[in-house]
Amino acid sequence: MAELLAAKLVRDVPDFPKQGILFKDITPVLEDPAALKQAVNLIAADARAKGAEVIVGIESRGFIFGAPIALHLHVPFAMARKLGKLPYDKISEEYALEYGTNTVEMHIDSIKPGQKAYIVDDLLATGGTAAAAARLVERLKGSVCGFGCLIELSFLHGRETLLGYPVTALMEL
């Protein structure tokens, strides 16, 4: 297996966005074309193997990886956006944060009935965001064939939240 170039580039930023959070900053990965290309290619290969017919990117860093993966596979790219950003008819799913809740939304026509959707984000933490995106896909009568990300914070047990969905992470931190 070739070395994962992104592994050395993810930067830890303590106490961002608030005290006690160790933020995984992927901007150095985005600034390294070879590392970004390798990460996109690896997640795209997984999405292809899972039979993805549409790639769902979670706002906002999921867009950075999701759109090139969709191009790579020549399948549609669908956005799961934060509350209030999508202009057309949409459905919403709320999920719990440490304090309060967040909401993700998708356009009602962004998933076709029966379509296999592969969900992409930069990082899996508790899995709440990815699970909400999965509920949106299923409410639109699609099925979730997998979830792919660059980084998994395994101590937060996001995989348990996503039980039943295959999860692929390029690195575990």
The answer, yes or no, to whether the previous bond of 28 is cis (omega within 30 of 0) is no
* One-letter amino acid for residue 169 of the chain: A
Burial of 66 (0-12, 13-18, 19+ CB in 10 A): buried
Residues marked active site are found at 61, 98
- Of the candidates 6, 9, 10, 24, which one interacts with ligand AMP according to CB under 6 A? 24
Segment 124 to 153, residues that bind ligand AMP, using CB under 6 A: 124-130
Segment 44 to 83, residues that bind ligand AMP, using CB under 6 A: 58, 61
Contact between 106 and 136 under an 8 Å Cβ cutoff? The reply is: yes
Q: How far is the CB of 12 from ligand AMP (least distance, A)?
A: 9
Per-residue binding string, ligand AMP, 92-121, x by CB under 6 A, is -----------------------------x
131 token code pair: 């699970």
Q: How far is the CB of 123 from ligand AMP (least distance, A)?
A: 4
How many residues touch ligand AMP under the rule CB under 6 A: the total is 17
Residues in Cβ contact with 136 at an 8 Å cutoff, skipping those fewer than 6 apart: 80, 91, 92, 93, 104, 105, 106, 111
| Contact residues for ligand AMP, defined by CB under 6 A | 21-24, 58, 61, 121-130, 158
